[in-house]
Structures are given as C-alpha cells and as structure tokens.
Structure 1
C-alpha cells in the first residue's frame, strides 16, 4: 500500500471528525429518514457500512478513480489526435475545408448528445455496466475510423465513437460523488483530472509525429489497442459505486431470503408503482428537465461551456499558429500543446488542494454548495490575463516561449475556474449527479463544437490580438454576473427546484 493510501485509510477509518461527518447530513442534500424509524427501510448503516461506497477503503476508492482517469485520457486524446493530420486526411479523401473540420469536431457534437442518454441510464442500471458497455462501443467505432475507406464512413464512425466516449463526461462526476465526501472533493477531482488533462497535449503531439512519419490510420489503431487494454483492466477493477443500486440489490436479497416483500429502499419508494417504461421515461428525460427548469444547471452549463469553447478554439488553431505564423514543422508545432496541458495540470493540483482547504475552513459554519463559488473570481481574472497575453504576443510574433507562457496562464485560470463549478454541481445534485453533469455537458460540448467553426475566420480577419480581446470582453459579460447570481440565490433555487427531478 502506498503512503497516500495509508494516510487516507487512517483518516477515513480513525479520524473522529470524518466519523462525525458520516453521521450528519452534508450540504449536498436532505438527510435520509432514520433507519430505526422503519425496520423495513433498507439503508446504509451509520456510522459505517462496508458496502457504502463512501466507506470503502481508500485504496479501493483510488483504484476506481484511477480507472476513470485513464479511461478519460484515451477518450479525450482521440478527440484531438487527428488535428495535425487533417490536411493529409482531406487530401486522401478529397474533402473540402468544412468536411475536414467536421471530421474533427463531430466527435465533440456526439459528446453533447451521448450523456443525455448515458447519464440517466447509469442511475437505473448502475455505473459499472454503463462504463463497460460504453468502453466496448467506443472501441468498435474507433477501429472503424482506422479502416475508413472514405470520408462518409470516417465522419459517421467519429460521431459514433464520440457517442461512446461521452459516457466518461457523465459518469466521472457521478462516480466521484458516489465515493468521495464533500471535504475530499478537491483532491479527488485533482487526481482524476491529472491524466485526462495530459491528453490534450499528448494527442496532437502523437498525431503530429504520426502524420509526418506514418499513416494517419495508426492514430486510431494505437488508441484502439490502448482502449482494449483499458477494457481488460476496468473489468476486474471497477466496482459498482452507485449507492441507490447497491441498496436496491440488498433489498432484493432481503426479500428473497426472508420472503417478506415489505423491505424497500428510498429510491424504490420514489418510483412507487410506476411501470418500467414510466421509470425509464422519467429518468431519461431528467437531464432535459434539469436544463429547462433549473437555473443552477443553466448558469453552470453556460459558464463552463464558454470556457470549454475557448479551450477548443485554442486546440483547433494552435498548430496552425506555429506552422503559418512561425514557420515550424508539424511535429514541432505539436510540442507547443504541452503548454496547454501544463497549465491545466498545474491548476488541477493547486485547485484541488485549495478547494479542500477552503471547504474545511468553513466546516464549523456548515458549508453549502455555494461556498465553492468564490474561488471562480480570481481564477477568471487569471484566465483573462493569459488570453490577452497570448493574443498580442502571437500577433506580433514574439518569441515562442512568451506565447506559450500566455497560453499556460490562460489554461491555468480556466481550469482553476472549472473545478469549483464541477464540485458545485456534484454537491448540489448528489442523487442525480450524472443527469446534472449530462445536462451541463450538452452545453459544453455544443459550444466546443461551434466555437472552432468561426475561430479561423475571426483570427484571419482581426488577428490574434483583437480577436482574443473580444473573446475576453465576451467572457467578462458572462463569467462575472452568472457566478454572483448563483452565490446569492443558489440555495433558494435548489430548494424550489426539487419537484422537477
């Protein structure tokens, strides 16, 4: 056992503060009815239950988190790996500029719609079966991309692969919410994000070298080999973490062993006598209802979606900046993506620690989900500074190192702002985290799909300096009032919106 695991075992098993936190309701939702008040209510034992994912040993929690992280790495890498090879692919398949851009960005379009179905299904059938199914689905269609005989097959297979890959966007928040307590949210998010954030840089770097030295098809064949290995690892190490499903299985076992059908769980009572079709209909429509009726989801989705769109503007135009403005080769241009990932990785590690520190400082005052919001404001200022620095240094072709510093600062601020917003959604929707994350991801992926479509024309017409200034101005008009609104009215909105779950 590593020192990290040993430390967490001690904290989780023997720290009286953690044991007390396990006994009382957190800010993430209403307390469950006392188990003693109804002998037939099947709930987790307090203060400790070995089957409760939040009471799992730390090593088991980190195993599940690491599997999610590695899965996210491959799926995000596939979204960007073909960027340096777009010119080569377009020539082979006789694609125009729109079709070429579509072959890259349609993957993101799929990640907008996939979570709307995948997230809710995980609240019925559990996280485990959905992860395994999506892994196999993604593998099949990623292999098809590698053997695509024409542009139509490539674009269609990219969409279907993205649909399977999108499961990670809904599942990650749900699983982390299943197994980690609110005071551990920052660190768990930081560890989960560490590997996937590297994918944004690794993808274009690998893609650049493959595009120059071998066939572009190896981009898909190599990631498919990695995905097959991940399926094998996940099958033996990813345990079911959805508490409601674990309790339903316990209730079914009790009813079978005792012959007494009065045993029930809270989720079964909420479903009542609804038919399977009615339950599926209500569950599958939940992300859409959250997006339509919940201002919290609308605001958080727009806030994070704008940042996600900016990220993909950078990812989709960065290689072209170095090849056209600075005259560098495709392989060397891909190395600059390291600055993007380093900024995000640094923010994820600093931000995770900072989030937990600020949360624990407020423990005596019963922190609410809204206590995550203040960290957004300094983060946004940092991202604006980086955005403007990147734009004007690129405009005047300042030394490449200064441009990379600007991108590093920009991505650092964006990631630092994104983490507390993700934690806020997890805290605010503990019972339906995957549906809430799916609703948020729909807007994020849609903006990430749309923003790169106009970015090249904007940079060509206005230049990098003024274009980034306009983007920063637009970001200010969105990023300042929306978090302030949530900070002030979030608690009231959460109390009023529960009926639309």
Structure 2
C-alpha cells in the first residue's frame, strides 16, 4: 500500500501546529519522513516515491530541508565558528547596552529639563524619563513577532537606526510635549534588542553553551540603567542636558557602524528557506514545510504573530509567573533609581554629579553576580543533565534562582533601614549592591528558562519584556509618595515582603512541577 504523500503529511502537521501556536510542524513532518524511510528500507525503492510530479518536487525540498542535515550544516548558526558566534553576541549586547543607557541617562538632568521647558508638574517631569519604558512595553508586541516572520537581522539594525533618529530629535525638541513624544518613539526602536536579543542567543548557542552568552547579553538591560545616571550627572552639570542625547546618538551610530557588517541573520526557519531557494527550490513550497504558517494568508500570519506574545503571557502560567517575578524586581530597581536622587543629596549632601557615583554599588552587584551566576548556573545545569542521562530540561536552570530569591529581600531591607537610620553612606550603597546581585541571580535563569522552554523564544522574551517595562514605568510614579508615607525603612520592608511572597514559592513550584505543566501545553517545546 502506498503511504500518504509527503505533501499531504506536511499540510496536516502544519495545520495542527498552527492551531497549537508553535513551529514544530517541520520537525513533526521530518520525523514522520525518517520513520517512514526506516520502515520501508527493504521495500522497492520505486514505491518510496510518489508518482505525482508535484509530490516529487515536495520530496526533494523536504530532503533539502531535513532537520538532521540542517543540524550538521555549517550554515546553521549553531555551527558557526566561535569567533563569529561571539562577535554576533557582542553586537547584540552592544545594542542592548545602548538602549537602557538612554532610558536612564536623562535622570540627573530632569531639573534642567523642567527649567528649560517651564514644567512644574512633578508627574509630567517624571514622564519625560519613564515614557521610554512605556515604549519598551509597546515595542516588543510588534518587533518580537516581526523577527519571527522576517528574521532578526534587519529588525535589530532597522530599530537601532530608528532609535538613533528620534533620540537625536530629543536634543533639538522645542517643547516638553515634543521631547516626551520623541522619547517615546526612540524607546520603540530601543526596545528591539531587549525583546529579540534573547532569541538571537538561543539561535546561536546550544543549551549547554548558553549560560555564559545569556549572562553577557543580560548585562545590558541591568548595567545600562546604572551607568546612565553616573554619566548623565556629569554631562548635565558640565555641558548641559542636550549633550546627553547627542552622546547617546553617537554611541548608537557607532553600534550600527559595527553591527550592520558583523551581525547576520540567525533565525533558523528564515535561513532554511533562504538556502533552499538559493539551491533552486520553490520558495512557497519550502515555506510550507519549514513554517506552520505557510498555508495561511499574509493577514492571518501577521495577526497570529502579533498576538502571540500576549497569548503566551496569559495562556502559559509558567511564563506569566516568571515574567511577573522579573517585572517586580525591575520595578524595585527603578524605585531605587527614584530614591537615590533624594537620599544622597538630602541625607549626605552630595551634588548631582557626585550623586551619580552612588549607582556604582548596583553596578558592582550586577557584575559580581554575572560572573558568579553564569558559572554557577552552567555548573548546576551540566551536573543535573549528567544525572539525567545526558538529557537537559529547562527546569535545570531554576536552582541558581534560589540564591537570588534570598539576596533580593536582604538587599532591600539593608538599603531601606540603613537610609532610615542615616548611617554612613556606604551602607545603603552596599544594600543596593546586594539587591542588584540577587536580581541578576534570578534574571539570568529566567531568561535561560524562557529560551529553553518556549518554541517561539523571541515572543516569550518579548512578553516578559512587556510586563517588565510596564512595572518599570509605573513604579517610579508612586515611589516618592510611598517613601513620604512609610519612610525608607517601611517602604523597602514592604518591597522585601513582596519579593519573598513571589520569589520563594514559585521558583520551587516551577522546579518540581514545571515539566508536568509544560507537557500539557502546546506553547512549549
């Protein structure tokens, strides 16, 4: 009896995968093809091929796109040379550093902004700073899915150029409303590396090699907001806040000049179709095999991809709870940024320029935990893989989170009560450093888990970035009122309690029950 044609098998598996909202259709098709070939090795070779000419074409494309061949193909980004992998990571990390640098570098210059544009409302003044984070929440909803339709390369490069243009516009804004609008548009472009960068790391590095790469990538969103106020304070004091925007624009231009020639496409489905077409195969047929969206209209494909981050966020409890934990900590970080300009000038008499130096404690915490955390995460992961007969699981990323879940509330208590007691200035700085160290210990495993666990890694990362950015946007708006009412000790004790409530039970739950939950969901690998 003749088996179903490969074309029919591809269509059925493709439709099923589309309904499930994931891209495992090609793997299903290829697995079926291999099983079919194994079971018919002794059969007449003529019976293994369809007699229909169109099916013969499809069979040829399927052989060209076979996943086993792709895994061994030197054009596969996972098989790139180490130099090419790490140079690509360096570009993505540079983009990811420039973006959050721009989000916070304006902070010390807010008084000058208020004077320049005659702004008296404290909320509107704060909005010129935090609107950038609001754009971070909007941008990934569009840019993450677009990277899975058209590829990572030009979404990243184009978004950085878009950011560069509107950030330069901020330098020459003639009103507060124009500045706020330009800041929002610049933030949209700047959100691309935050949302897509983790997907690039997953494209290039295998699970065993991913921890160190993700640690380097994750430094940008955490170190950028720390270096920003340090540099911004001195720039605003010496040459004026206008030069904050000009300097950021120059750095973004350097990033594009280096990045465009170095960073090439890394998204495997796009590359597999590209190389199939280059080898003389039909593009539409190749897309039908590689992508479950191949049989849909362009409008359906666009809607499916644009809605995917929110579908993932609200239909996957694991993604939601891990994203919520990361978002809460990101909100705490920006509350610290709200507290620093008040605590150190008022309690310790520091000037605006010197006040920026207080952020060094947070930077040291991030750097320390990046070095230790990446090593610890990778060591624990490999040991657990070895005990599991060489099979890795996303849940093996979770144990290193337990360290961070303990350090975060300790750092918050330390910072709040040392400021409340007005003891030596080094004590709140150390508390901020402990918090930052704990934050990175949780941030890195969550990023790795999302890349490992979700088929559409960029959309999962984008969904997490949306929630994280919303918390970063809203928390500073009520921070000063909270400090005035509860005091620094009481306010940061409340934050530490929230951190314990979320950060202790849920990582433990994900570690023990995450695999069982993932097995029931079509959204996961």
Greater Cα offset, 384-393 or 491-500: 491-500
Matched, 1:152 2:177: yes
Per the normalisation by structure 1, the TM-score is: 0.90
Matched, 1:48 2:69: no
Per the normalisation by structure 2, the TM-score is: 0.86
Which residue does 2:209 correspond to in 1? 184
2:398 to 358, 368, 373: 373
User: Gaps spanning 5+ residues in structure 2: where?
Assistant: 1-22, 38-58
Q: Flag the structure with larger Rg.
A: 2
Offset, 1:292? 1.9
Equivalent pair of 2:105/2:229 in contact (CA under 8 Å): yes
Which residue does 2:316 correspond to in 1? 294
- In structure 1, C-alpha distance between the alignment counterparts of 2:126 and 2:281, rounded to whole Å: 61
Equivalent pair of 1:248/1:265 in contact (CA under 8 Å): no
Matched, 1:101 2:126: yes
- In structure 2, C-alpha distance between the alignment counterparts of 1:442 and 1:331, rounded to whole Å: 32
Which residue does 1:481 correspond to in 2? 505
Matched, 1:267 2:327: no
Which residue does 2:348 correspond to in 1? 326
CA, structure 1 residues 166+297, in 2 after alignment: closer, same or farther (shift >3 Å)? same
- In structure 1, C-alpha distance between the alignment counterparts of 2:161 and 2:284, rounded to whole Å: 37
Which residue does 2:10 correspond to in 1? none
Matched, 1:405 2:426: no
Cα deviation digits, residues 278-323 of structure 1 (max 9, x gap): 1111111111111121112111111111111111111222122111
Which residue does 1:89 correspond to in 2? 113
Equivalent pair of 2:284/2:294 in contact (CA under 8 Å): no
Offset, 1:266? 4.1
- In structure 2, C-alpha distance between the alignment counterparts of 1:264 and 1:444, rounded to whole Å: 34
User: Gaps spanning 5+ residues in structure 1: where?
Assistant: 1-27
How do residues 48-447 of structure 1 correspond to structure 2 at under 5 angstroms?
A: 48-95=72-119, 96-194=121-219, 197-254=222-279, 257=280, 263=286, 266-268=289-291, 270-364=292-386, 365=388, 366-429=391-454, 431-447=455-471
The size of the alignment, in residue pairs, is 470
CA, structure 1 residues 487+146, in 2 after alignment: closer, same or farther (shift >3 Å)? same
Cα deviation digits, residues 178-221 of structure 1 (max 9, x gap): 00111112111122234554322221111111221122110001
CA, structure 1 residues 259+183, in 2 after alignment: closer, same or farther (shift >3 Å)? closer
Cα deviation digits, residues 229-288 of structure 1 (max 9, x gap): 11111110001100110001122234xx267986566433x1242111111111111111
Matched, 1:456 2:480: yes
- In structure 1, C-alpha distance between the alignment counterparts of 2:161 and 2:256, rounded to whole Å: 7
CA, structure 1 residues 416+266, in 2 after alignment: closer, same or farther (shift >3 Å)? farther
- In structure 1, C-alpha distance between the alignment counterparts of 2:524 and 2:449, rounded to whole Å: 19
Offset, 1:416? 0.7
CA, structure 1 residues 459+272, in 2 after alignment: closer, same or farther (shift >3 Å)? same
3-state DSSP of counterpart to 2:72: coil
3-state DSSP of counterpart to 2:144: helix
Offset, 1:347? 0.8
Offset, 1:473? 0.8
Offset, 1:339? 0.8
